[in-house]
Chains A and B, each alone.
Chain A
Amino acid sequence: PEVQQVAKKIRPPMHEYIRKLLYKDLSKVTTEKVLRQMRKLDWDDTEIAFYATKSLIAVWNVRFNSIHCAANLLAGLAPYHEHVAIQVVDGVLEDIRLGMEMNHPKFNQRRVSCVKYLGELYNYRMVESAVIFKTLYSFITFAVSYDVNMPSPLDSPEHLFRIRLVCVLLETCGQYFDKGTSKKKLDCFLIYFQRYYWFKRSNAIWVEETRPFPIDIRNLVQDTLEAVRPKLKLSENFEEALKACEDLENEYKPRVASVLPIIETDEGNTSEADDNLTT
């Protein structure tokens, strides 16, 4: 049979050069060097600046193990090209959001890469913890239905990919949420995450004998939670996870009520705002 030849995209030399720097050369030992070359680009040329920015966003082209280098690189570029750094962060967040809206398996690896990148951008202090928590909550709330009879097309019962994304983000930067308000915020999030997880896992489509809930997801969640909160006692079923959320909300209700008049005038674009109140 004839092998279909994929036409090689012809790119201008400058584009090829930027791609070579970011997608071939970039590694732990070359980060400094690549940064120097990236700084030398003619950032005043809008076409070059646009392509370089686009390439910095497209982190799924970077070797997965070098994603932290891309974050490091961007942090190094930020003092000189703040607008570029901002556009890259905006672009990564947009890709994560659009990924949920498209929800096509062919983008799964791309989505994992973007989420990992975001976590590394937190580690290199390009984004604050609020951005990480907004993203975490978006995974367990955006177009999510907690009504078994009304499954969401964007997050159907057998769709477990959001769990993976949460775990990737927690694996990447969760260990730094170990003190102060970010610690508390993560504790709250983990309670809601377990509710999401158990809601998925207790769905009737999973039948122990014929179609058990995937073991790799079970292990992934367990390993991830253990890594960020070794002492945490995990919920063992949906009822327990639900109860933990109710307890948390009851605990915070008086406090939320006292500030609610202010909050009500504030915009919350998704149900995520509701969760954020308790964090």
Chain B
Amino acid sequence: MTQSKSEKSSIVVDRKKEKDKPPTKVVIRRLPPSLTPETLLEQISPLPNHDFFYFVKADLSLGQNAFTRAYINFQNHEDVFIFRDKFDGYVFVDGKGNEYAAIVEFSPFQRVPKRKSKKSDAK
């Protein structure tokens, strides 16, 4: 399964089609470290049509730089801007009253899982 660098033949094929598509995967960053995915979804609902969402817990070892974040892939490109206008700079408040201004950006890595039946790993 491993490969030598020179071969560079691999699973993640350069996806030409995707390159030409406008970006739709968005990251919302610098959220309160104590935030839960449930609370986030509550606060940003109703979330437009999306086919991918995941939430990342904070790395608490980073102290004051510990944040949660979430990735969302919108199905309609227009929704990206509506979401950005609404939540970029939006202040989230944690249980203790601390304020966190969120940053909404295109995710630098636009890939999302392909929708296909999961290949089970026979190992």
A interface residues (Cβ-Cβ under 8 A, vs B): 31-32, 35-36, 39-40, 43, 50, 54, 68, 72-73, 75-76, 78-83, 85-87, 89-91, 93-94, 97-98, 101-102, 123-128, 130-131, 134-135, 266-267, 269
Contacts and interface: CB of A to CB of B under 8 A. Distances in A.
B54 A87 contact: yes
22 contacts: A36-B123, A50-B57, A72-B2, A75-B3, A79-B119, A80-B119, A85-B12, A87-B56, A89-B111, A90-B27, A90-B71, A90-B107, A93-B109, A94-B27, A94-B29, A98-B65, A102-B62, A102-B65, A124-B3, A124-B8, A125-B8, A128-B15
A135 B108 contact: yes
B95 interface: no
A99 to B, nearest CB: 10
B56 A86 contact: no
Nearest to B59: A54
Contacts of A43: 121
B8 to A, nearest CB: 6
A253 B77 CA distance: 27
B123 A75 contact: no
B114 to A, nearest CB: 7
A16 to B, nearest CB: 18
Interface in B75-117: 80-81, 84, 105-109, 111-114
Contacts of B109: 86, 89-90, 93, 127, 131
Contact of A80 (B12, B13, B121): B121
B106 A124 contact: no
B12 A39 contact: no
Given A86-B111, A135-B108, A125 B10 contact: yes
A265 to B, nearest CB: 9
Contact of B123 (A39, A54, A124): A39
A40 B120 CA distance: 11
A76 B123 CA distance: 12
Contacts of A32: 1-2
Nearest to B65: A102
Given A73-B2, A102-B62, A134-B108, A128 B80 contact: no
A39 B121 contact: yes
Given A79-B119, A91-B56, A128-B14, A123 B65 contact: no
Contacts of B54: 83, 87
Interface string B38-58: 000000000000000010110
Nearest to B1: A76
B2 A76 contact: yes
Contacts of B71: 90
A35 B121 CA distance: 12
B11 A79 contact: yes
A128 B119 contact: no
B8 A123 contact: yes
A35 B2 contact: yes
B55 to A, nearest CB: 11
Given A79-B11, A267-B84, 18 more contacts: A40-B123, A43-B121, A73-B2, A76-B2, A80-B121, A83-B54, A85-B12, A86-B111, A90-B71, A91-B56, A93-B107, A98-B65, A123-B5, A125-B12, A126-B10, A128-B14, A128-B19, A267-B106
